[in-house]
């Protein structure tokens, strides 16, 4: 008889349950009050200011205010690390249709097959390495306040150094309760099995948003896109909704860079710039264009 959450299960997975939203994107909090600084003192980006206040000299070093760069990433960036996609003609795992392994109905019909499918995907993802595109996006944090909203379920962005990643469609390295979706557990093993239960007695399922399910992080993703000073789209055909609609929430005239060798489903606009390359080459070109934008504003 399968055991509930307890010492044996805990030894296997090595963790206690987490609550949903365990890694919220960084908030942009207001600067703390600075005693002795009179209102009306204007602080410039990257400036060091000396000002006489009540007979004293105060020196304030102000950190550079970074532009908010938001990246929408899709399967194309992970494909260059050897992770196949559902959308490619050869991307089906052992001939399975997505409706047989990635829907709530599939889980109810044959949970063992679904677990086997995601176990194989998890094994492949754990063996994969971040590519140069992942690493380049991580490096952009030196210059920009970067937020990544990804449709990918792997952790390659995080392993490449990106610190602010929102997973729209879930994370394959986590499991969650089939009874209470707020009970989420990191996995230390690549294999999930029938009989792995949460503390409520429910079978654990992959922490994945399946086709036909709501996307709980969508509202947060919309807010992130609305705050963008620059929007970058990498490796997505913009064909899967609701994620494909995110680009429509960017503010007017925000520059949008689309990195994809194909032609994403996007209406041409004056502020949209296409880089028709794969992710690795395209992100290198993107860095050059971002530098031009910083210097010349176009």
Rounded to the nearest 10°, the torsion over CA 150, 199, 121, 282 is 10
Return the number of other C-beta atoms located less than 10 Å from residue 8's C-beta: 10
**189 contacts 13 by C-beta, under 8 angstroms:** yes
Kindly name the residue from 169, 253, 273, 288 that is annotated as catalytic.
169
Burial category of 273 from C-beta neighbours within 10 Å (exposed 0-12, middle 13-18, buried 19 and up): middle
Residue 253 annotated among the catalytic residues of the structure: no
- Rounded to 5 degrees, what angle do the CA atoms 226, 232, 235 make? 125
**151 contacts 172 by C-beta, under 8 angstroms:** no
Q: Which domains does the chain have, with CATH numbers?
A: 7-22+66-296 (3.40.50.1220)
Distance CA 86, CA 279 (A): 18
Distance CA 186, CA 171 (A): 9
pLDDT digits (tens), the chain, 298 positions: 343 333 343 334 344 444 434 444 444 344 444 333 333 333 333 333 333 444 444 444 445 678 999 999 999 999 999 998 765 555 555 578 888 999 999 999 999 999 999 999 999 999 999 999 999 999 999 999 999 999 999 999 999 999 999 999 999 999 999 999 999 999 988 999 999 999 999 999 999 999 999 999 999 999 999 999 999 999 988 877 888 899 999 999 999 999 999 877 777 788 999 999 999 999 999 999 998 877 776 5
């Amino acid at each position: 008889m399968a055991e509930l959450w307890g010492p044996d299960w805990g030894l296997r997975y090595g963790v206690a349950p987490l609550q949903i939203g365990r890694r919220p994107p960084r908030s942009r909090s207001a600067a703390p009050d600075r005693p002795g600084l009179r209102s009306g003192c204007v602080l410039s980006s990257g400036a060091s200011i000396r000002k006489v206040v009540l007979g004293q000299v105060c020196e304030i070093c102000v950190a550079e205010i970074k532009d908010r760069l938001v990246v929408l990433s899709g399967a194309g960036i992970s494909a260059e690390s050897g992770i196949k996609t559902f959308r490619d003609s050869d991307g089906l795992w052992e001939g399975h249709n997505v409706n047989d392994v990635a829907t709530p109905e599939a889980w109810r019909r044959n949970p063992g097959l679904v677990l086997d499918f995601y176990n194989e995907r998890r094994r492949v993802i754990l063996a994969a390495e971040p590519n140069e595109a992942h690493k380049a996006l991580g490096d952009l944090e030196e210059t920009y306040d970067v937020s990544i909203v990804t449709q990918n379920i792997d952790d390659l962005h995080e392993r490449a150094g990106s610190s602010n990643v929102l997973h729209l469609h879930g994370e394959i390295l986590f499991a969650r309760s089939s009874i209470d979706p707020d009970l989420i557990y990191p996995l230390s093993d690549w294999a999930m099995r029938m009989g792995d239960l949460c503390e409520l007695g429910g079978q654990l399922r992959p922490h994945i948003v399946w086709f036909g399910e709501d996307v709980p992080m969508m509202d947060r993703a919309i807010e992130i896109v609305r705050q963008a000073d620059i929007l970058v789209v990498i490796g997505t055909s913009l064909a899967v909704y609701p994620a494909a609609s995110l680009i429509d929430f960017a503010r007017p005239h925000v520059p949008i860079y689309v990195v994809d060798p194909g032609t994403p489903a996007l209406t041409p606009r004056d502020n949209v710039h296409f880089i028709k390359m794969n992710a690795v080459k395209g992100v290198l070109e993107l860095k050059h264009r971002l530098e031009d934008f910083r210097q010349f504003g176009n």
